[in-house]
């Protein structure tokens, strides 16, 4: 199910609507965890919620709330106003919304990241020149995808190369989407993604088929972008699956 939403500054639900949305999401995630044993809230998480501990990490918020957050993010970081956008309906445990505004590129987001923390990439060339093939781009219109809310990449796709994921028709995150997620997460928490794992951005390739990867380097205290072969696979190199 897809919903077309036209964003404006006053597109914010009232307090009661927000409360009902959060209450529904909490119940759904509790039942999901009871049923499957993973991918939702535990009773320990709910206790932490009551005690006001790590509230952000427990629940991503309703679609409307996340949309409003992205509207503010783009105005503050890029002076861009999001226009008309089609947002896919949520799917299972894909609970983090990523919005890529029309015209936004990987290099723009990388440059913005450098204003908050140090970054290093494998070449001095522009990312937009190097990473020329992407499964999704915002060159013509703004788009949205859902991913799992995870600081470290989950183990669902570990030991699977970019080539294997393509054969299985599994959509992976693009470099632009990963950089946006990392920047927004830092703005919300002042913490970093991928401190123990590496996001394998299998939705993007360079001209020779190389796949960009992103991780936080504790030794040098910076975000590092590397290029991996499309048949590379190991426990820590994992793609973030995308639902669109």
Contact 103, 81 (CB under 8 A): no
Q: What is the mean pLDDT of residues 213-234?
A: 88
b/e burial code for range 20-48 (CB count within 10 A of at least 16 → b): ebeeebbeebbebbeeeeebbbeeebeeb
Confidence of residue 92 (pLDDT cuts 50, 70, 90): confident
Ranges of each domain in the chain: 2-243
| Adjacent-strand bridge partners of 191 | none
Q: What is the rounded CA–CA span in Å between residue 233 and residue 159?
A: 5
Distances (CA, A) of 35 to 27, 30, 38, 42, 209: 12, 9, 8, 11, 40
Average confidence score pLDDT of the chain: 85
Contact 69, 77 (CB under 8 A): no
Contact 204, 133 (CB under 8 A): yes
Assign 200 to helix, strand or coil.
strand
Contact 82, 70 (CB under 8 A): yes
Place of tokens 């290099």: 107
Q: What is the rounded CA–CA span in Å between residue 146 and residue 39?
A: 14
Q: What is the rounded CA–CA span in Å between residue 233 and residue 85?
A: 35
Contact 137, 175 (CB under 8 A): no
Contact 7, 83 (CB under 8 A): yes
pLDDT above 70 for 1: no
- Lowest average pLDDT, out of 19-33, 45-59, 157-171, goes to 45-59
Q: What is the rounded CA–CA span in Å between residue 184 and residue 105?
A: 15
Q: What is the mean pLDDT of residues 184-203?
A: 94
Assign 59 to helix, strand or coil.
coil
Give the tokens for residue 208: 């020779």
Give the tokens for residue 167: 């054969």
pLDDT above 90 for 229: yes
Position 192 scores a pLDDT of 94
Contact 96, 113 (CB under 8 A): no
CB neighbours of 194 closer than 8 A, spacing ≥ 6? 151, 152, 153, 182, 214, 215, 216
Position 54 scores a pLDDT of 43
CB neighbours of 147 closer than 8 A, spacing ≥ 6? 94, 96, 98, 173, 177, 181, 240, 241, 242, 243
Which of 185, 81, 65, 197 is CA-nearest to residue 142? 81
Position 5 scores a pLDDT of 53
Position 2 scores a pLDDT of 53
pLDDT above 70 for 37: no
């Amino acid at each position: 199910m897809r919903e077309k939403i036209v964003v404006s500054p006053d597109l914010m639900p009232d307090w009661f609507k927000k409360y009902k949305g959060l209450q529904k999401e909490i119940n759904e995630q509790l039942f999901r965890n009871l049923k499957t044993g993973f991918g939702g809230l535990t009773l320990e998480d709910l206790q932490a919620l009551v005690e006001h501990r790590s509230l952000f990490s427990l629940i991503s918020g309703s679609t409307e709330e996340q949309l409003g957050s992205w509207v503010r993010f783009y105005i503050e970081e890029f002076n861009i106003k999001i226009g008309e956008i089609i947002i896919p309906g949520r799917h299972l445990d894909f609970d983090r919304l990523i919005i890529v505004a029309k015209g936004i590129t990987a290099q723009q987001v990388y440059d913005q990241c450098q204003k908050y923390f140090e970054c290093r990439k494998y070449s001095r060339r522009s990312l937009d020149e190097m990473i020329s093939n992407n499964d999704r781009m915002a060159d013509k219109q703004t788009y949205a995808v859902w991913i799992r809310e995870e600081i470290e990449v989950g183990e669902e796709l570990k030991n699977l190369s970019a080539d294997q994921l393509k054969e299985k028709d599994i959509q992976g995150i693009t470099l632009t989407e990963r950089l946006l997620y990392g920047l927004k997460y830092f703005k919300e928490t002042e913490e970093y993604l991928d401190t123990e794992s590496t996001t394998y951005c299998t939705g993007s390739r360079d001209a020779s088929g190389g796949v960009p990867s992103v991780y936080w380097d504790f030794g040098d205290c910076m975000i590092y972008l590397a290029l991996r072969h499309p048949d590379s696979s190991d426990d820590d190199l994992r793609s973030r699956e995308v639902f669109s």
